[in-house]
Amino acid sequence: MKNILLVSTVLFTLMFMSCNDAPKSELGHNEAEGVSKTNEAGEDAHGEEGHNEGEGGHNEEEGEEGVVMLSNDQIETVGLETKTLEKRNLGNNIKVTGGLELFPQDKANISPFMGGNVRSIKVIEGDKVRKGEVLAYLEHPDIISMQQEYQEKNDELVFLKQDFERKKILFDKGVSSGKEFQMAQSKFRSTTSSVNGLKSKLRLLGINTSKVEEGEIYSAIPITTPISGYVDEVMVSLGDYVAPQSKMFTVSDNSKIHLDLKVYEKDIPKVKVGQKIIFTVASKPDELLTAEVHSIGKTFEKDPKALHVHADIDNKNGDLLPGMYVEGRIVQGEKSGYAVPEEAIVKEGEQSFIFILDEDSEKGENTMKFKRIPVSTGMNDLGFVEVNLPGNIAKDVKVVTTGAYTLSSEMVKGELEHGH
C-alpha cells in the first residue's frame, strides 16, 4: 500500500513539472516571434513610407505637367528668345514676292571716254560720294597731245578771226575780191568748228579749257560720278590700262529704292495704283515695312505668268539694299489681333501650344520657368500666326519666339524620366 502511494506521488509530481515547463517555453517563443514580426513590419512600413515620401518630393519638383525649368546657362546654350506678346495687323490680302530694285536713273556704270592708265584711285567700295566727285585719275600721252592740238588750233583761230574780219571790211568797201573774202570766211569757220569740237572733248574729259588756253597742260584726267550715292564696285587697280567705255566703277543711290513685285494673273484685277503694301525683308523679319503701288506692268511674264507691280518706299536710312528678297501683301482689308511667329507654335496632333515665361512663380536665382499653354490659332500672315489665349493668361505675357520645339523636347524628356 505504501509502495502504491509512493509511485502515485512521484507520477503526479512529474506531470505537474511537465505542465509548467511547456507553457513557459511556448509563450516565450511566441512573444519573441511577436516582437520580431512587429519589428519587421515596422521596418517595412517605415522603409516604404520613407521611400514614398522621397518619391513624393521628386514629383513635386519635376513632375508638374507642362512646365520646363532651365538655368540661365542652358537658355543661352540653346539660344532661347522671348518677346512680349504684341498685336499685329493681319489680313487675307494678295500675297506677293519680289525684290528691292533701283530705278534705272539711280544706278551708274562709270567708264572713261578715253583710254588710259590708272594713276590714282580715290574711293573704295561702300564710300558715300556726291555728284561730280572724283573717283580716279587716268593718264595717257594722247591726253597731252589733245590739249596741245587745242592750243594750236585756238591760237590759229585767233589769227583767222582777225584775217576774216579785215577782209570782210575790205570786201564791204569793194577793195578786196569776193574770192579772198570767201576763202578767209571758209577757213575761219572750219577752224572754229575744229576748236569747238576739241573744246567739247576736253570738257567731257574733265579738263578746264580756259586753263589750257592760258598754256596749262594736264597730264591726267579725272573720272567722276554722275550721281550721288554709294560706291558698289571698284573694278580697277593702280597701273591698269582702261580702254574707252570699259567699266571702272558702279555707284547707286539707295535712297530711291523701290519694290519690284510679281502679281499672278488671278489677282491682277484687285490691284490698284495707290494701294498700301506691307512687306518684310530677311534682315528685319519682325519689322513690318510699308510701300505704295506706283505702277502696274502691262506685259505678262511667261514663267510664272505674272505681272510686275512697282511700289515706292521710303529708304532715308539707307538700310534697305538692292537685291533683297521681299515677302509682302497688297492690302485689301485687315484686322488687328495678337500674333506670334510661326516657329513659336508647337503642334501636337490637332492642338497648338506656345511656351510662356512664368515670371510670377518662385524659382532659383539662376533658373527660369516656362509653361506650355494651349492656344487656338487663326489667320496666318507674313510668317505670323494669330493666337487666342486662355482667359487666365495675361495679354502682356512673354512668349518664347525662338526655341519652342527645344523646350517641348526637354519637357517630353523630363516626363519620360519621371515615368521611369
Q: How far apart are CA 378 and CA 384, in angstroms?
A: 10
Output the pTM of the full model: 0.55
Question: For residue 34, what are the contacts with CB-CB under 8 A and spacing of at least 6?
Answer: none
Q: What is the CATH number of the domain that holds 81?
A: 2.40.420.20
Residues 189, 195: Cα–Cα separation, whole Å: 10
Specify the higher pLDDT residue, 305 or 102.
102
pLDDT at 394: 83
Structural domains in the chain (count): 3
Examine residue 353 and state whether it is found in any structural domain, yes or no: yes
Domain annotation covers residue 280: yes
> What backbone torsions phi and psi does residue 245 show, to the nearest 5 degrees?
70, 10
- Does 223 lie in the same domain as 280? no
Would you state the cell numbers that stand for residue 406, as one nine-digit string?
527645344
Written as one letter, the residue type at 78 is: V
What is the rounded CA–CA span in Å between residue 77 and residue 329? 36
Of 270, 304, 332, the residue that ends a domain is 332
**Omega within 30 of 0 (cis) for the link into 341:** no
Torsion of CA 335, 337, 343, 348, to 10 degrees: -110
Most confident of 56-60, 352-356, 358-362: 352-356
User: Which CATH number characterizes residue 164's domain?
Assistant: 2.40.50.100
Residue 395 pLDDT: 81
Give the helix/strand (H/E) hosting 100.
strand 94-101
Mean pLDDT of 325-349: 86
Q: What is the CATH number of the domain that holds 262?
A: 2.40.30.170
Considering 332, 366, 390, which residue would you say is the last residue of a domain? 332
Low-confidence winner among 123-127, 128-132, 358-362 (lowest mean pLDDT): 358-362
User: What would the pLDDT profile of 231-249 be if each residue is shown by its tens digit?
Assistant: 999 999 999 999 999 999 9
Question: What pLDDT is stored for residue 416 in this prediction?
Answer: 52
Contact 261, 95 (CB under 8 A): no
> Which tops the pLDDT comparison, 317 or 38?
317
**151 and 216 belong to one structural domain:** yes
Q: Is the pLDDT of residue 63 over 80?
A: no
Q: What is the pLDDT of residue 362?
A: 55
> Range with the lowest mean pLDDT among 12-21, 25-34, 197-206, 383-392?
25-34
Q: Please report which helix (H) or strand (E) contains residue 371, including its range.
A: strand 367-381
Residues in Cβ contact with 129 at an 8 Å cutoff, skipping those fewer than 6 apart:
123, 135, 225, 228, 229, 230, 231, 251
- Dig out the grid coordinates for 101 from the structure: 530694285
Q: Which of 257, 305, 277, 269 is nearest to 96 (CA)?
A: 277
- State the average pLDDT for the chain: 81
pLDDT band at 17 (very low <50, low <70, confident <90, very high): very low
Confidence of residue 419 (pLDDT cuts 50, 70, 90): low
State whether 247 and 270 are in the same domain: no
Q: Domain range spanning residue 320?
A: 94-102+257-332
Selected residue with higher pLDDT from 167 and 13: 167
Give yes or no: residues 187 and 155 share one domain: yes
pLDDT digits (tens, 9 = 90+) for 373-396: 899 988 777 778 889 888 888 888
* Residue 30 included in any domain: no
In one letter, which amino acid is 65?
A: E
Claim to verify: residue 197 and residue 262 sit in the same structural domain:
no
Output the CA–CA distances (angstroms, integers) from residue 363 to 82, 360, 393, 407, in the order listed.
18, 9, 19, 17
Residue 40 has pLDDT above 60, yes or no: no
User: Which of 198, 220, 251 lies at the terminal end of a domain, its last residue?
Assistant: 251
Residue 190 lies in a domain: yes
Same domain, 245 and 119: yes
